[in-house]
Structure 1
């Protein structure tokens, strides 16, 4: 059966990864395997995926952090694969935005059924939402989240990758306040080490300049003094 869906598998156990990859590819899925949380995040940022399978106990960046980072940017289904049996771990994973939880060892048939079920729902949702991802805001801002293009008064803005990531994160979570540390850890995927706050400040300043957003009377990115930043763009 040809599924024609792209799966991102983030699993550090090579044998489990091999078995899952072979099985899903035999069913027609395109599968990308990442062996660490950081590698999984990098792969996720490079290509569009229809579903993400995440182990919780990962090197470099754990599965909980990866789930939280992905959910901040996308509604893609996230299926947790883990040997953990504790209810607390299940609840935490689901609270961070995962859609389902499969405890190891699991049957490949069960995994396929879970994937197919989530894909059906997600593809229906995507078909309904695609036309809503090119969003127009007051004061001339337009963000096309699918093509990753930003326009101001119909002029295409040349944003850097980090500027786009910052804008996308905040615009996808309007009015949510992000601290500089949270922005740095999400966009740069590194713990804040003392220099991260300055890095975020520089990129936010550059982004604001391109958006022609006056800090004294912000229309897009508002500074919440002593806390961080939030996106306040008004959807038309």
Structure 2
């Protein structure tokens, strides 16, 4: 099956050149012209690689990289005219795997795309050999594919949104999420007028996990900022 690539680029001339190259190499390509469109496309299909410009309308490339990385380990390559070291460092720290400065040669782009895809295939091959679960101290086990959660030998019945909340938090250990960020990721909406929904679901999740608020094992409140996952993987 051909690899699927998401290209997020608002410059039509550059996008067409890159898209045509990738199509000639046999890849399936989805082209988004804004950061928000790219984020919506990413949530509706499975991709093997994402190519992201930094200076995008509606949602900049830094934010898009951050959102994608919270949700997936898919390879991300930034393609940008911004050549400052600070931009490169920030992009890589947000989870990008590579950074290619404009202007670039198509030969170099092709080589980097193939390199990232090779690593992604190896990574996926390793994952399929193991049962996709994570065990934590204090009796918590999360079975990712089955959407099943065990605490102290007993299955915890979570709603879809509760599991999604736990997944976002636990896959980003010690990262503090604001309520608006959790709302965007779990409810997949940019309108964050109903942040009380997040509070209610966090409360329910804690109760089901029997996770005390004052001395939590798993979900910690960072006052004035949001929530973070502090479970200790075994």
Name the TM-score class by shorter chain: 0.7 to 0.9
- For residues 113 and 62 of structure 1, do their structure 2 counterparts lie closer, same or farther at Cα, with a shift above 3 Å needed? same
Query: Which deviations, in whole Å up to 9, do the C-alpha atoms of 1:75-118 show, x marking residues without a partner?
Result: 22111111223333222212222121112232222211100011
Q: Which residue of 2 aligns with 1:143?
A: 142
Q: In the alignment, which residue of structure 1 is the partner of 2:219?
A: 221
Q: Conserved in 2, the CA contact under 8 Å of 1:138 and 1:235?
A: yes
SS of the equivalent of 2:83 reads coil
Alignment length (residue pairs): 230
Secondary structure at the counterpart of residue 97 of structure 1: coil
Look up the match of 2:95: 97
Structure 1 residues 222 and 87, CA, compared in 2 at 3 Å: closer, same or farther?
A: closer
Contiguous gaps of at least 5 residues in structure 2:
none
Runs of 4+ in 1 over 6 A off after TM superposition: none
From the superposition, tell whether residues 164 and 12 of structure 1 become closer, same or farther in structure 2 (CA, over 3 Å).
farther
Other-structure match for 2:133: 134
Contact 1:79–1:98 at 8 Å: present in 2 too? Answer: yes
| CA separation of 1:115 and 1:154: change in aligned 2, threshold 3 A | farther
Give the Å deviation of 1:135: 2.1
Task: Kindly provide the CA deviation profile for residues 189-222 of structure 1, in whole angstroms up to 9, marking residues without a partner as x.
Answer: 6386xx4542321232243355454546644323
Instruction: List aligned pairs for 1:2-151, cutoff 5 A.
Output: 4-130=2-128, 131=130, 133-137=132-136, 141-145=140-144, 147=145, 149-151=147-149
Q: Distance in 2 between matches of 1:16 and 1:164?
A: 40
Corresponding residue for residue 190 of structure 2:
190
The gaps in structure 1 that reach 5 residues or longer are: none
Kept in 2: contact 1:6–1:29 (CA 8 A): yes
Structure 1 residues 117 and 178, CA, compared in 2 at 3 Å: closer, same or farther? same
8 Å CA contact 1:52, 1:77 repeated in 2: yes
SS of 1:230's equivalent in the other structure is: strand
Partner SS, residue 149 of structure 2: strand
TM-score, structure 1 as length reference: 0.80
Distance 1:157 1:109, change over 3 A: farther
Alpha carbons 1:149, 1:156 under 8 Å: kept: no
